[in-house]
């Protein structure tokens, strides 16, 4: 069998992205929050079914800005879906509040609505729900809980570009949503992020905060006076560059094909592992469209996930653990046990998933994983 490496994740970029970057070079506006960013914001708002979008340096800054404009302050508690890269919890801490982690559903790994509601205290101000591997959680239930208790709802849609929930696009399911355009995401500029909402007041405030607390320079273009901005609150430099935005505009053009390719890979993986007792394939719920940012197998308890990963890597097929049970990370201090999330953290395995996988590579991944499991069973 070939030992040529098969990447865990890989962007789909080419001449179209290079041409878009060249156009930005010719324009002379390479800095952040420029014309290319505005074009992408208009288009991404349409894709996410929202009225407003703001480009950001990354998803972490989008999460932080969202929490700030929602009014989060020290002493507040924010309920966070536990099974996620800790950027989600970090944003809450950076905003001065305390993350309270909710355990997850055992099938799709998003926050369990019943557990979310059980965690509400007088200090709770909102729910930060994560679209795990891109598949949206139970947003009708989250919304009902938020409305019942007077809380805001924030969607961590880092992995979810192109996903849907009951025909509604990811990003339109909460008061605010944050997206990532990191290199392993479904659409990417290497880095970057976006904050989207139907609420103009939230996005307008975030737009000021992401440019040190003033309106971006493009808003002053063409003025027949000499506007001198004033600083009334502490802001940050969280802008996406126009070079990145040019790439993202092309990536939006690619999105339907990229989603179709990932869904085809997921279907073939489902078939390849359907009869492997030691593996459980990921679930796509019938009322949702999964964007397959990642493909996470769950390994049976009697098989060592870590040993399996090393066996697979020896063949040149890249793999990794799924994501984090955030409550187990030392930075957050002692936490109540969350057994479902902890179990997923111990047993999930991410295998190659991207739009560039060839039929031969998908076949090889399936064979390698099956043989590695058999060698350990």
Instruction: Report, as an integer, the average pLDDT of 124-138.
Output: 98
Domains along the chain with CATH numbers = 15-252 (3.40.640.10), 257-375 (3.90.1150.10)
Return mean pLDDT, the chain.
96
The owner of tokens 């139970």 is: 138
3 state SS of 298: strand
The owner of tokens 């996988």 is: 357
Q: Is 148 a catalytic residue?
A: no
pLDDT in tens, 187-213: 999 999 999 999 999 999 999 999 999
Residue 220: which pLDDT band, with cuts at 50, 70 and 90?
low
Q: Residues with Cβ < 8 Å from 233, sequence gap 6 or more?
A: 208, 209, 213
Structural tokens at position 171: 């990003």
What pLDDT does 109 receive?
A: 98
Task: Residue 335: count other Cβ atoms within 10 Å of its Cβ.
Answer: 15
Instruction: Report, as an integer, the average pLDDT of 212-226.
Output: 78
Give which of 87, 33, 76, 35 is closest to 209, Cα–Cα: 33
CA distances to 264, 288, 355, 372 from 291, rounded to whole Å, are 11, 10, 11, 27
What pLDDT does 3 receive?
A: 58
Judged against a pLDDT cut of 90, whether residue 278 lies above it is answered with yes
pTM of the model: 0.96
Rounded CA gap, 260 and 255, in Å?
Answer: 9
The full 3-state SS of 44-110, as one line of letters, equals: HHHHCCCCEEEEECCHHHHHHHHHHHCCCCCCCEEEEECECCCHHHHHHHHCCCEEEEECECCCCCC
Report yes or no: 126 and 79 within 8 Å, Cβ to Cβ: yes
**Residue among 148, 166, 185, 267 flagged as catalytic:** 185
**What's the first-to-final CA gap in the chain, in angstroms?**
21
What pLDDT does 229 receive?
A: 86
Instruction: Report, as an integer, the average pLDDT of 130-138.
Output: 98
Residue 216: which pLDDT band, with cuts at 50, 70 and 90?
confident
The DSSP 8-state label assigned to residue 286 in this structure reads T
Give which of 74, 44, 34 is closest to 178, Cα–Cα: 44
Give which of 349, 353, 345 is closest to 104, Cα–Cα: 345
Rounded CA gap, 179 and 248, in Å?
Answer: 12
């Amino acid at each position: 069998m070939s030992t040529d490496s098969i990447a865990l994740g890989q962007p789909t970029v080419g001449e179209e992205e290079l041409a878009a970057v060249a156009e930005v070079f010719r324009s002379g506006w390479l800095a952040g929050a420029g014309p290319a960013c505005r074009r992408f914001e208009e288009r991404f708002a349409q894709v996410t079914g929202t009225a407003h979008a703001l480009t950001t340096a990354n998803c972490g800054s989008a999460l932080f800005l969202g929490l700030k404009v929602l009014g989060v302050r020290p002493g507040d508690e924010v309920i966070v879906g536990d099974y996620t890269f800790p950027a989600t919890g970090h944003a809450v801490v950076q905003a001065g509040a305390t993350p309270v982690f909710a355990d997850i559903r055992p099938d799709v790994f998003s926050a369990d609505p019943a557990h979310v509601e059980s965690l509400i205290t007088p200090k709770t101000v909102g729910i930060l729900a994560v679209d795990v591997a891109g598949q949206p959680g139970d947003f009708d239930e989250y919304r009902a809980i938020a409305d019942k208790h007077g809380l805001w709802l924030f969607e961590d849609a880092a992995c979810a570009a192109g996903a849907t929930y009951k025909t509604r696009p990811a990003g339109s399911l909460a008061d605010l949503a944050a997206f990532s355009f990191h290199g392993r995401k479904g659409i990417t500029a290497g880095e970057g992020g976006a904050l989207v909402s139907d609420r103009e007041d939230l996005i307008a405030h975030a737009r000021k905060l992401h440019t040190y607390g003033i309106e971006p320079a493009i808003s002053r273009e063409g003025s027949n006076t000499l506007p001198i901005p004033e600083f009334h609150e502490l802001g940050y430099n969280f802008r996406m560059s126009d070079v990145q935005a040019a790439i993202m505009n092309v990536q939006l053009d690619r999105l339907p094909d990229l989603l179709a390719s990932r869904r085809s890979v997921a279907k073939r993986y489902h078939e390849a592992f359907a009869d492997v007792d030691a593996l459980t394939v990921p679930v796509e719920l019938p009322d949702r469209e999964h964007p397959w940012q990642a493909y996470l197998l769950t390994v049976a308890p009697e098989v060592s996930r870590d040993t399996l990963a090393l066996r697979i890597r020896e063949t040149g097929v890249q793999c990794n653990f799924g994501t984090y049970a955030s409550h187990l990370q030392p930075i957050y201090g002692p936490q109540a046990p969350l057994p479902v999330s902890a179990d997923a953290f111990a047993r999930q395995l991410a295998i190659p998933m991207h739009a560039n996988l060839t039929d031969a590579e998908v076949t090889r991944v399936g064979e390698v994983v099956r043989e590695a499991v058999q060698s350990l069973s």
